[in-house]
A and B are shown apart, each in its own frame.
Chain A
Amino acid sequence: MAQHESNTKLIWQVFGFLSLVTIIEVILGIIKPHGLHYTNFLGTSLLNWIFIILTIVKAAGIMWYFMHMNHERKNFVNSIIIPLVILIPYLVTLLLIEGSYIHDTLAPFINWKY
């Protein structure tokens, strides 16, 4: 194995970035800005979309820099990423659509008047 350069500086930069994203998430989660929280876009609020996007950014940061995907060959990276990118959104989309369908069908039958 070849002698590698030390990447310590990059590692701390990535840590700073991940911490920053987490702090933004927590601040947004605590204040819940009115203009984002009380909206609806593709089944959930814009605030939730921001959380999901920031989470994916964090996950990509961890995979790319901490798990050294940036050092792997492209076909190997693709063999990991492509199944995830295809299968997970596929499953999630179907299940969430079905879940809201079941809700729309069953919720009217729940009695809230006593």
Chain B
Amino acid sequence: MKATTADQNTNVWEGGATRPMGASYGKMMMWFFILSDALTFAGFLAAYGFTRYKFIDIWPIADEVFTHFPFFHGTYPMYYVALMTFILIFSSVTMVLAVDAGHQMKKNKVITYMFLTIIGGLVFVGSQAWEWKNFIKGEFGAVQLNDGKIIQFVNHDGKQIALEDFATPDNAVIEHTRENGLWFEKGETTYEYTTAGIIEAFKHNPEVGIRLEKINPETKQKIVILNKEEALRFLEHSSRVVRGANLEVNEYGSSQFADFFFFITGFHGFHVCSGILLNIIIFINVLLGTYERRGHYEMVEKVGLYWHFVDLVWVFVFTFFYLV
């Protein structure tokens, strides 16, 4: 008891010499923070699961949404996120190597590995930004009906096609110059296409059919309607043209899909950003020799725990947004 009180007075920041569960104060608190953060993410992903089950028959199919790969045209589902997963796992490996080097008091190795970790984190955040850009920009465009349903367009094989593949832009966007330009004007987003123009083009193009949000439970694919008359009965209720994704509407289907995607990957991206920031702070301390003087590299270990946690969360986000 005597030792405990004495240590608590002299060494308060370290939590004293009492190590209730064999871990230092800082490490234990980092673990408990991670525990609470893991529960937070679990709550978000569970809410995603709830909403997905609620709309199980109309939920967008991830393979049809995330199909881009840098410098390649065409549809490559999965490859890009798989690459991002590798980048993050690899930066986790360099982090654990930095921790390992810290245990052996090898300052230069810690510096190298922490630097690589920071680079890996930055590459990951950049990749995430690119993914967001593609999602926000959209690829094919769609039409939203008055009751909110999204109608996509397909060719006679049932493969999705873009608006520009069959319709002509009839809603010219006015380019403002210094003479007639306005600095800012609030209003609806305008698109190059109008619903009337799309319906007209749809009537005159025999190759084009529509695709509903509804999934056929037998084939697990979206229902395609190639019959013109039947399709036009849907299109008669068109209210607006949709391209890309935002928090209100998206061309891929249920608006909640985009909401959850932005929120969960955004929250994860925020964690990665703060992880990078923490890594940079610790990296500078390593450079200055703070931990060399302190005699141990436990700070690297603590920030490493947080970094691995970010990787851990991504493993789940990857599964539930892209695979399942």
Contacts and interface: CB of A to CB of B under 8 A. Distances in A.
A7 B47 CA distance: 39
Contact of B39 (A12, A15, A87): A87
Contacts of A96: 46, 49-50, 53
A68 B95 CA distance: 12
Contact of A95 (B49, B79, B97): B49
Interface string A4-44: 10111001100100110011011001100000011000011
B96 A87 contact: no
Interface in A48-67: 48, 51-52, 55, 58-59, 62-63, 65-67
B116 to A, nearest CB: 13
Contact of A22 (B86, B92, B234): B86
B53 A100 contact: yes
A39 B319 CA distance: 19
A99 B212 contact: no
What band does the interface of chain B fall in when counting residues whose beta carbon is under 8 Å from A? 35 or more
Main secondary structure of the interface of A (DSSP, over half): helix
Interface stretch (B122-130, B257-265, B305-313): B305-313
B95 to A, nearest CB: 8
A112 B212 CA distance: 9
Given A76-B22, A102-B54, A67 B324 contact: no
Interface string A98-113: 1110110011000110
A66 B214 contact: no
Interface residues of A, number: 57
A63 B310 CA distance: 11
Interface in B199-237: 212, 214, 220, 230, 233-234, 236-237
Contacts of B93: 11-12, 15, 66
B56 A75 contact: no
B56 A103 contact: yes
B38 interface: yes
Contacts of B160: none
Interface in B279-324: 295-296, 298, 301, 304-305, 308-309, 311-312, 315-316, 318-319, 322-324
B131 interface: no
B55 interface: yes
A73 B324 contact: no
B21 interface: yes
A65 B50 CA distance: 32
A60 to B, nearest CB: 10
Nearest to A48: B324
Contact of A84 (B38, B90, B324): B38
A88 B214 contact: no
B312 A103 contact: no
A103 B55 contact: yes
Given A26-B78, A29-B323, A96-B49, A76 B89 contact: no
A37 B61 CA distance: 13
B271 interface: no
Given A22-B85, A59-B315, A103-B53, A95 B46 contact: yes
Given A62-B311, A75-B21, A76-B21, A11 B324 contact: no
A1 B23 contact: no
A38 to B, nearest CB: 7
Interface string B24-46: 00001001101100110011001
13 contacts: A1-B295, A1-B296, A3-B105, A23-B82, A38-B220, A62-B312, A63-B312, A66-B304, A80-B31, A88-B46, A95-B49, A99-B50, A100-B56
Interface of B: 21-23, 28, 31-32, 34-35, 38-39, 42-43, 46-47, 49-57, 63, 77-79, 82, 85-86, 89-90, 92-93, 95-97, 99-100, 103-105, 147, 212, 214, 220, 230, 233-234, 236-237, 295-296, 298, 301, 304-305, 308-309, 311-312, 315-316, 318-319, 322-324
